[in-house]
Amino acid sequence: MASEELVVGVVLPASGTGDRFSCQTPKQFACLLDKPIFFHTVMAFYRFDWIQNIVIIVSTEYIDRVTAMVDCFKDKVKVVLGSNTRHRSIWVGVQALLHVQPVPDVMVIHDVVRPFFDEEVVKTIVKNAFVHGAAGVTRPLVSTVIQGDENNMLTASLDRNLYCASEMPQAFKYGVIKEAYEKADENDLDFGTECLFLALKHCQTPAKLIPGPDSLWKITYKKDLYAAEGIMKETGICVCIQSVTGSASETVLQCLEHHISEKGLSCKRVSEVSSDFNTYVFVHTENSDITTMLETMSQEVCDCHRRKQI
């Protein structure tokens, strides 16, 4: 069955503290091109018209902020209060999807700090989850894994060819993941981190492992924001709006900026062309030669990007 024929729900845990990010603000709320990281991830899923429901799980102090930011997408985005561990928060998301209609055939779990993923990857995971009960993306290990004892003395070195890194997204038949969390014990919920293992442990459902692209990386440290911004500028849509002839009204420009931003796109009004953008909206209000104007502005854009490369 094609993914478009299935009822698919997405759970996005976003209530973590992001300790390794070394910042008072949890990393999912750090800004990436004028939008919090979580917002880019939510919008990526929202644009997939075959996904029916998205549940964002957040902590108490951020629930009002997140709810307000995604209000215009409430046709299929729901914000719920999370818990104190990853598994307990995901369990909240599983239960939230039980109350939507129709209940999903397949549920996707994804980290909100992984904003880069292809639609085809998600479709592949969903289809395999429907066939096998569970499916997840993997990447090869790039470092050797060793084991130490309580005194930090080396005891073993693992053959990395026998192992792989578990990445996101993951997907499950809804009945499988619901049963897995219903049977999970306190130790699972408080200390576990791997959802695929819960399905294996409690439902005897081995996940299909799908090798994924290297774009499925996670923003973990502050330095990752710089790399993410570069990728976003190259692969995402970064819009600038410039009134180039005449005097477009402030109301028109504000409405245009608001409408573009509502679609989850990075958008800013500027007074002159900048290489920080890859999409340009020129507002033209005079009855003059539009062809000449476009040629002039196109040349300015090319010159601006050329200077950046020097």
Q: What is the pLDDT of residue 94?
A: 97
Closest by CA position to 208, among listed 172, 262, 155, 260: 172
Q: According to the model, what pLDDT value does residue 248 have?
A: 60
How far is CA 221 from each of CA 2, 114, 124, 264, 267, rounded to the nearest angstrom? Answer: 37, 12, 29, 24, 25
3-state secondary structure of 196: helix
* 100-129 tens-digit pLDDT: 989 999 999 999 999 888 899 999 999 999
CA distances from 280 to 34, 112, 242, 268 (A): 17, 28, 8, 10
- Give the integer Cα–Cα distance in Å for 206 and 51: 24
SS3 state of residue 308: helix
What is the token pair recorded at 109?
Answer: 């779990």
Contact call for residues 133 and 205 (beta carbons, < 8 A): yes
Residue numbers in the chain where pLDDT is lower than 70: 17-23, 233-238, 244-249, 259-266, 271, 275-276, 278, 284-290, 293-294, 297, 301, 304-310
Residue bearing tokens 């060819």 = 161
pLDDT in tens, 4-56: 789 999 999 998 765 555 567 788 888 887 789 999 899 899 989 999 999 99
> Residue 29: its pLDDT value, please?
87
Q: What is the pLDDT of residue 17?
A: 62
Nearest to 91 by CA among 185, 167, 218: 185
Give the C-alpha separation, 132 to 121, whole Å: 16
9 with 100: CB under 8 angstroms?
A: yes
Cα Rg of the chain, angstroms: 23
Q: Collect all residues with Cβ–Cβ distance below 8 Å to 103 and sequence separation of at least 6.
A: 7, 97, 174
Q: Which residue has the tokens 């479709």?
A: 123
- What is the pLDDT at residue 147? 93
Residue-level pLDDT at 183: 97
Strand pairing of 106-109 and 164-173?
antiparallel
Among 32, 43, 14, smallest CA distance to 228 is for 32
Contact between 45 and 68 under an 8 Å Cβ cutoff? The reply is: no
CA distances in angstroms from 284 to 118, 238, 247, 248, 254, listed in the order given: 35, 20, 8, 8, 15
